[in-house]
Structure 1
């Protein structure tokens, strides 16, 4: 039997699709629709930003009150925030030992006075006997020596009594001047050492605000030394201050520098130890600032797409970002003023691609 052959009709539709695909691959770029992107022209502007930190209200002049001797605290009569006058009692120590020492010194003084009186009478008697020739000069001299010794013993007893009285008085801590209590560092029953702080006092009515400022922030110069102070819970309550002192030392643990602000106007409701927010305006040198949407990324770091104004071709360039602010990115290098930067549509670009420039972003 002879084999039978079947003629098939060519699939003209599939052939047309294949020819169209090949033709599309070889179509010149100029005949295709160009990608439209939005751009901005880079320019240097004055970088002005605000910087806020939380600090603490402190007294400008402070004093620490402490006992000159150690012992057990029996009473602390003041609390934080209390106002005291000169001579007010702040705290007391246990006085048992000092009272016993004072009684012993007083008894010693009574004995020394009695010995002194006896020696004086004996010296007077010996002088009278010597005048009548009823005693010897040696006896009279011995009586005079005993009198001088008794006088010295009485003087020593007086000094011992004064020292005992002073020790007893030192068990009572008095306010040296009118002040406000900012901290209470001892409680009844606590055993403390000599010169250990019991109460911290604020002198006068001047306030300061202390801030721990990152070291890098101090490289920028504030537009003015004025600091706006505000209450954390109520930002509408504001005050004013001036930068008074910048510490020359950097905290090695935190990398911060202590900045002291002199409070000119204290926000309502704040006092010693309260937190406060300080805000300054920082004036930097003119730098290129771009919209945040201009920044893209590559393996080595942040970058932007630049457009050649002659050929309209895109090129990727690495940049260095100084800092980010609201809606914008401040560059330290990578882009010069006058260059055209893609602000929108960069996600579809590749190096050398020709684009259609849209309107500049505002």
Structure 2
């Protein structure tokens, strides 16, 4: 009986010791989460964008006649270089010559009436001085003279206008340049103001590019641009953004940007294809491109997780500059920051993480 009690006591003590031993055993430490990161550096800094464009003249003039008529002759071809005063097209002037003849005849008739009115007025002035005629008669001849004088001036003005119209039958170049387009041919009847030629002045060449609406805010007038030409592989020149269109193209939704070329290459030609690297404005100079998965949204404030030197994470508020389907361009980061790019919803402020070294470096833009 005693032996059986002793066995039960031994088993009870063993269970107690096992329980005490299990209670003192420490729980295994939690493993820090492994995160993908991107280091903010020059490689992820959006310093410039490249656009394709073409060479244009700064001044492109649509030439037209100031009078209508039938084109008698065209003296230039597309691509011809012209100089100030060169005759480019000629209209048939027969009808205008007749108009000049008519206006000159009317001017001569008006002059004859003026001389008659002048003679009558002079005669009645003498009679009035002798009290031979009343003042009313003198006033009548004075009015006739004034009317004749106005008629003569009107006829003379019409004559000068018709003579000018005769000179307008020759379309001349008003600047040195190149004929880039021909819109009318000999034998065609055109109206006044209808475009017949396009003259491009080649003393100032520019490059025109089209910038998407989500990038137009990155550019500024007078900003620097580096321009290269596909047909001239060894020629790269500095340019300056001269003009940014305030209105987007209604179809393409792009904005036209003009880059002036202070020192273009000597063999640069109109219409050549160019590549333009635009330096961003000061507002966009501190923007960085991250994957969309790096954004941690807290209410209306976008944030990112920043990994500190001791491998702990903390939230940092950023400003979204622009975004597309896979990437986002943000403001508010500093060069050297390490940003978590995946698993941001599972992190806690101050939590220790492990870095995936294969994803630490910034990606090229």
TM-score range, shorter chain: 0.5 to 0.7
Deviation at 1:102, TM superposition (A): 0.7
The answer to whether the 8 Å contact 1:44/1:288 transfers is no
Counterpart mapping for 1:230-241 below 5 A:
230-241=228-239
C-alpha displacement at 1:209, in angstroms? Answer: 0.5
Shift of the 256–119 alpha-carbon distance from structure 1 to 2, 3 Å rule, reads closer
Shift of 1:250: 2.9
Contact 1:43 1:288 in 2 (8 A): no
Post-superposition shift, 1:203? 4.5
Name the structure with the higher strand share.
1
Give 1:68's aligned residue: 66
Q: How does 1:10-21 map to 2 (within 5 A)?
A: none
- How far does residue 225 in structure 1 lie from its aligned partner after superposition? 4.8
* Cα distance change on mapping 1:153 and 1:264 into 2, 3 Å: closer
Distance in 2 between the 1:55 and 1:332 partners?
38
- The answer as to whether partners of 2:207 and 2:260 remain within 8 angstroms in 1 is yes
The answer to whether the Cα contact below 8 Å between 2:231 and 2:272 also exists between their aligned partners in 1 is: no
C-alpha spacing 1:111/1:195, structure 2 compared with 1 (3 Å): same
The question of whether the paired residues in 2 share the 8 Å contact of 1:229 and 1:267 is answered with no
Contact 1:40 1:341 in 2 (8 A): no
Match of residue 256 from structure 2: 258
Question: Is residue 39 of structure 2 the alignment partner of residue 44 of structure 1?
Answer: yes
**CA distance 1:340–1:177, shift in 2 (3 Å):** closer
- Please report how far the alpha carbon of residue 213 of structure 1 lies from its aligned counterpart in structure 2 after TM superposition: 2.3
* Aligned residue in 2 for 1:108: 106
Cα distance, 1:176–1:112 mapped onto 2, change above 3 Å: same
User: For residues 111 and 268 of structure 2, what CA distance do their matches in structure 1 show?
Assistant: 61
Provide the alpha-carbon RMSD of the alignment.
Answer: 4.2
- Kindly state the Cα deviation for residue 258 of structure 1 after the two structures are TM-superposed: 1.8
Cα distance change of structure 1 residues 132 and 262 upon mapping to structure 2, 3 Å threshold: closer
| Residue 241 of structure 1: how far off its partner (Å) | 1.8
Q: Closer, same or farther in 2 for the Cα pair 1:281/1:75, shift >3 Å?
A: same
Aligned to 1:285, which of 284, 288, 293? 288
Among 239, 246, 260, which residue is 2:244 paired with?
246
Q: 1:99 aligns with which of 97, 100, 117?
A: 97
Distance 1:156 1:286 in 2: 73
Give the aligned partner of residue 227 of structure 1: 225
What's the TM-score once normalised by structure 2's chain length?
0.57
In 1, are the aligned partners of 2:45 and 2:289 still within 8 Å (CA)?
Answer: no
SS in 2 for 1:271: coil
Aligned residues: 266
Q: Could you tell me whether the CA contact under 8 Å between 1:56 and 1:210 is conserved in 2?
A: yes
Q: Flag the 1:338–1:218 CA change in 2: closer, same or farther, 3 A.
A: farther
Decide whether aligned partners of structure 1 residues 63 and 122 sit closer, same or farther in structure 2, where only a CA change above 3 A counts. same
Equivalent residues in 2 for 1:110-259, closer than 5 Å: 110-124=108-122, 146-203=144-201, 205-218=203-216, 225-259=223-257
Asked whether the equivalents of residues 45 and 287 of structure 1 are also in contact (C-alpha less than 8 Å), the reply is: no
What TM-score do you get using the length of structure 1 for normalisation?
0.58
Deviation at 1:52, TM superposition (A): 3.7
What is the deviation of 1:239?
A: 2.7
- State the 1:101 CA deviation: 0.9
Structure 2 unmatched ranges of 5 or more? 1-33, 293-324, 329-338, 345-352, 360-365
Contact in 2 for aligned 1:213/1:256 (Cα 8 Å): yes
Q: Does 1:321 align with 2:337?
A: no
Aligned partner of 1:55 in structure 2 is 53
In the alignment, which residue of structure 2 is the partner of 1:30?
Answer: none
